[in-house]
Amino acid sequence: MKKLRKKHIVLIIIGFLLASLLIGSSFVAYNIYMQPFGKVEEMSEKHFPYLLWHEIDQTRYPREEVHFYSGRNRLQGFIYGGANDKGLVVISHGMGGTADGYFPMIMFFVDQGWRVFAFNNTGTSGSEGRNLRGFPQSVIDLDAALHYVRKSNALKDLPVMLVGHSWGGYAVTAILNYDHDVSAVVSFSGFNNGRELFKDLGTSMVGRAFYFFNPHFWAIERLRFGRTMRLTAVDGINRAGIPVMIVHTSDDRLVSSKTTAIYAHQKRITNPYAEFIFLDIDDGSGHEFPFRSEASREYRRIANESLQKYWDKTENPSRAQWAKEFNFCKFKANELNSELMERINILFRNAK
């Protein structure tokens, strides 16, 4: 009887220790998982050298603020080119950025006669949400945005084109697994699946330790996103059978063109209307600025060298003071690749 009691006590202690280990590792895993997905504040002067709305001609590019719900969170969006009727270009932003980070592109499409709908994902800028939640959230938010479009009397009759960058580049292709009426898609620096990218980034940072926490990461995403976590860009592109342009760069250090990028999976893409553009960029800016011109990248390089010299020799450096002395031009720093953008314009025009 005593031996039996001792055995029970041992089993209870082991069970307690295992439960503690499970709870502890789950807590650690959750905190590790959430690190890349913190809340993103609205763009301000600290996001130099991005072009901000108050710095452009607002009489030429006025915008209407709109709101819609994604789950429980009220998201913020903006409509530009309200008088344009060629079609609607919906822009899905990258992780860590906001809808306001794409003004050069917004202005281009408005000038070409398109109406533009740019919105902030959950946990971003003026949209509700304590954080970004995870990679699949961009698909969920884009789904909500497209439902808003089809319920809007002002937008529902316009042909819809999707443009996404990075996190948004995944969203605009993975959303094609759904039944939205989309005419064409352009994905900049997009990845095929969030799980693939999370694994690639995790193993590069912590090595094999990633695999200890991986079951927890899977459980977190399963509980948060359900089947959405399994959506891939490749499946969406193949399912849709519409024109899809995939743009990637040689120096993308976040989404590798050899492993996690949609571009890396091009042999699995059977959609005959898919096209791939691979840009040779070697200055480290390819992931963030795949749509910028070569002149823009060179201008930034020169400006960064000047800024570094100023920073090294100045006792109380001020970025604003340096910009004034250098005569820094945000329009030059954000100039688009005109040839690439015109190819996109033609793609959209032919897809209507």
Q: Tell me the two tokens of residue 61.
A: 């590019």
Q: What is the pLDDT of residue 323?
A: 92
Q: Which residue has the tokens 């970025």?
A: 319
The mean predicted confidence, pLDDT, of the chain is 91
Cross-strand pairs, 292: 336
On the question of pLDDT at 274 being above 60, the answer is yes
Correct CATH for 52-193+231-291 of 3.40.50.1820, 3.20.20.70, 1.10.1040.10, 1.10.10.10 = 3.40.50.1820
54 or 163, which is more confident: 163
Q: Tell me the two tokens of residue 194.
A: 């969030």
Q: Are 78 and 63 in contact (CB under 8 A)?
A: yes
- Ordered by start, the domain boundaries in the chain are 52-193+231-291, 293-335
DSSP string across 235-284? HHHHHH-S-EEEEEETT-SSS-TTTTBTGGGGGG---TTEEEEEE---SS
pLDDT in tens, 320-334: 899 999 999 999 999
Angstrom distance (rounded) from CA 32 to CA 53: 34
Helices 194-206 and 209-225: angle between axes, nearest 10 degrees: 150
On the question of pLDDT at 6 being above 80, the answer is no
Rg (CA), the chain: 23
Angstrom distance (rounded) from CA 271 to CA 44: 41
Query: Which among 129, 72, 81, 126 is positioned nearest to 99, based on CA atoms?
Result: 126
Q: What is the pLDDT of residue 126?
A: 96
Give every CB contact of residue 126 below 8 A, 6+ residues apart in sequence: 42, 76, 120
Helices 294-313 and 319-326: angle between axes, nearest 10 degrees: 120
Alpha carbon 224 to chain centroid distance?
Answer: 19
On the question of pLDDT at 345 being above 90, the answer is yes
286 or 231, which is more confident: 231
Poorest-confidence range of 50-64, 148-162, 164-178, 259-273? Answer: 50-64
Angstrom distance (rounded) from CA 35 to CA 33: 6
pLDDT in tens, 62-112: 999 999 999 999 999 999 999 999 999 999 999 999 999 999 999 999 999
User: What phi and psi values does residue 243 have, to the nearest 5 degrees?
Assistant: -60, 125
On the question of pLDDT at 16 being above 50, the answer is no
**Adjacency order of strands within the sheet including 160-165:** 63-70, 73-80, 115-119, 88-92, 160-165, 184-188, 244-249, 274-279
202 or 349, which is more confident: 349
Poorest-confidence range of 134-148, 202-216, 238-252, 272-286? Answer: 202-216
- Confidence class of residue 20 from pLDDT cuts 50, 70 and 90? very low
